[in-house]
């Protein structure tokens, strides 16, 4: 049997480059609590991304939770049913009520024209996901938020390297959050970030991620343990050296898929105009769930892993009272993410596409 082709695989830098950081970590014996490598990574990420206030945290989920706390949200939060479970579970975990709004049939992002009908006196914010790293309709969402005095948080977990109108996607909204999980194109093994343009808000976020510590024996507000470690930061610092080649390779691989599938009876999300896409995933939309299932079964038989991402809808979680979102419902039943990672070969892509077209 041929080796299994995973749907994703972490990028790993040369081992000796990572190990070069370990001696200094051992010499300092400083493993966590805002160590020098964490501070260095925050500075380098801010410079690379072109953002003003970036705080490294332990994962992308705690980033969302801290964002909600930092903005003092209450009551209902309008959000998308078409995202990873953390987008909804973090809202519920923070004792807020997710109110689902349908998605746009082309971009798969939250449809801003359907937000206002879901707003009530209890609504405090909008949490929108840039699905697969594809920017939302930012201006329209902000216009709604401004009319109703709502905060905007962008779940930008997939968005490292994405730009909108010439600047980082993280510069939009009151807060943007990102994931640096091992499956992401830039990772620190586990990790994430909270990004804002407000230095006072960042200071509040930094207190929150460290139990509220304001000095050794003082506490300001309620905090949590959202810190990241020197070992994780070291991985981020090494990976950042390779990020441009990682982004270029993903664009190349996406183009290979595009060429092989241009005559196949499938479609892809429409990338938002005025954006530079980071090619986080390779999702394809089939004409029916039956067609998707047949393709997935054939690929599984060939030892090729795929993922129905995102399926099922978040509005169908057992702890949710969801509203009807027919567009998201149709798309979630027909979307499939194909294998996509740095070391994926053109030969393997050709084989995958041949199987898809045979069905």
Per-residue pLDDT reduced to its tens digit, 89-137: 999 999 999 999 999 999 999 999 999 999 999 999 999 999 999 999 9
Task: Indicate whether 305 and 178 sit together in one domain.
Answer: no
Biggest alpha carbon–alpha carbon distance for the chain: 67
Q: Which residues contact 272 (CB under 8 A, 6 or more apart)?
A: 107, 109, 134, 135, 136, 137, 164
Distance between CA atoms of residues 174 and 169, nearest Å: 12
- How much of the chain, in percent, has pLDDT values that exceed 90? 95
Torsion angles phi and psi, residue 97, rounded to 5: -110, 115
Task: Indicate whether 59 and 87 sit together in one domain.
Answer: yes
Does residue 98 lie in a domain region?
yes
Helix, strand or coil, per DSSP, at residue 175 = strand
Residue-level pLDDT at 2: 61
* pLDDT tens column, 126-167: 999 999 999 999 999 999 999 999 999 999 999 999 999 999
* 203, 235, 269, 295, 353 from 284: Cα distances, Å: 41, 31, 8, 11, 11
Residue-level pLDDT at 321: 86
Task: Indicate whether 131 and 162 sit together in one domain.
Answer: yes
Last residue of a domain, one of 241, 273, 300: 241
Region 200-226: mean pLDDT is: 91
Residue-level pLDDT at 130: 98
Least confident of 1-10, 82-91, 204-213: 1-10
Provide the pairing of β-strand 335-337 with 283-285.
antiparallel
CA dihedral sign, ordered 236, 127, 312, 354 = negative
Residue-level pLDDT at 219: 80
Task: Indicate whether 230 and 291 sit together in one domain.
Answer: no
Region 285-306: mean pLDDT is: 98
Residue 223 pLDDT greater than 60, yes or no: yes
**What is the band of 215 on the pLDDT scale with cuts at 50, 70, 90?**
confident
Last residue of a domain, one of 241, 269, 302: 241
**What is the band of 353 on the pLDDT scale with cuts at 50, 70, 90?**
very high
Q: What letter does residue 270 receive in the DSSP assignment? A: P
Residue-level pLDDT at 134: 98
Q: Which residues contact 163 (CB under 8 A, 6 or more apart)?
A: 169, 275, 276
- How much of the chain, in percent, has pLDDT values that exceed 70? 99
Residue 26 pLDDT greater than 90, yes or no: yes
Distance between CA atoms of residues 331 and 316, nearest Å: 14
Average pLDDT along the chain: 96
Residue 251 pLDDT greater than 80, yes or no: yes
Residue-level pLDDT at 218: 84
Task: Indicate whether 207 and 248 sit together in one domain.
Answer: no
CATH number at residue 293: 3.90.1150.10
**What is the band of 294 on the pLDDT scale with cuts at 50, 70, 90?**
very high
Last residue of a domain, one of 213, 241, 269: 241
Distance between CA atoms of residues 150 and 118, nearest Å: 13
Helix, strand or coil, per DSSP, at residue 152 = strand
Residue 136: burial class (beta carbons within 10 Å; 0-12, 13-18, 19+): buried
Q: Which domain holds residue 21?
A: 15-241
Residues in the chain: 359
Q: Which residues contact 35 (CB under 8 A, 6 or more apart)?
A: 28, 229, 230, 233
Residue 19 pLDDT greater than 50, yes or no: yes
Region 165-180: mean pLDDT is: 98
Q: Where are the alpha helices (DSSP H) in the chain?
A: 15-28, 36-49, 60-70, 85-93, 138-148, 199-208, 230-241, 243-261, 289-301, 326-332, 346-358
Give the predicted TM-score (pTM) of the model.
Answer: 0.96
- What distance lies between CA 133 and its chain's CA centroid? 7
CATH number at residue 183: 3.40.640.10
Residue-level pLDDT at 1: 46
């Amino acid at each position: 049997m041929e080796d299994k082709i995973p749907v994703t695989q972490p990028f790993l830098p040369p081992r000796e480059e990572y190990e070069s950081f370990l001696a200094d970590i051992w010499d300092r014996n400083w493993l966590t609590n805002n160590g020098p490598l964490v501070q260095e990574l925050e500075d380098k990420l801010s410079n690379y991304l072109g953002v003003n206030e970036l705080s490294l945290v332990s994962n992308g989920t705690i980033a969302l939770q801290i964002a909600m706390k930092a903005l003092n949200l209450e009551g209902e939060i309008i959000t998308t049913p078409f995202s990873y479970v953390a987008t909804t579970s973090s809202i519920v975990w923070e004792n807020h009520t997710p109110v689902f709004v349908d998605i746009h049939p082309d971009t798969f992002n939250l449809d801003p024209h359907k937000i206002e009908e879901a707003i009530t006196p209890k609504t405090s914010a909008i949490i929108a996901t840039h699905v697969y790293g594809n920017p939302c309709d930012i201006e329209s969402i902000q216009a709604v938020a401004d009319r109703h005095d709502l905060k905007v948080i962008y779940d930008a977990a997939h968005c490292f390297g994405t730009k909108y109108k010439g600047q980082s996607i993280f510069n939009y909204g009151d807060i943007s959050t990102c994931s640096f999980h091992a499956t992401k194109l830039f990772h620190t093994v586990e990790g994430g970030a909270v990004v804002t343009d407000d230095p006072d808000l960042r200071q509040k976020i930094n207190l929150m991620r460290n139990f509220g510590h304001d000095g050794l024996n003082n506490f300001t507000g309620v905090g949590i343990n959202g810190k990241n470690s020197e070992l994780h930061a070291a991985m981020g610092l090494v990976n950042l050296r390779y990020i441009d080649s990682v982004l270029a390779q993903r664009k190349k691989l996406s183009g290979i898929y595009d060429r092989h599938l241009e005559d196949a009876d499938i479609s892809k999300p429409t990338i938002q105009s005025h954006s530079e896409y980071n090619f986080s995933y390779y999702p394809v939309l089939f004409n029916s769930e039956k067609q998707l299932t047949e393709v997935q079964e054939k690929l599984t038989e060939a030892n090729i892993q795929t993922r129905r991402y995102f399926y099922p809808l978040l509005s169908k979680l057992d702890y949710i009272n969801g509203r009807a979102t027919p567009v998201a419902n149709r798309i979630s039943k027909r979307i499939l993410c194909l294998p996509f990672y740095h070391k994926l070969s053109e030969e393997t892509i050709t084989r995958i596409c041949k199987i898809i077209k045979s069905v």
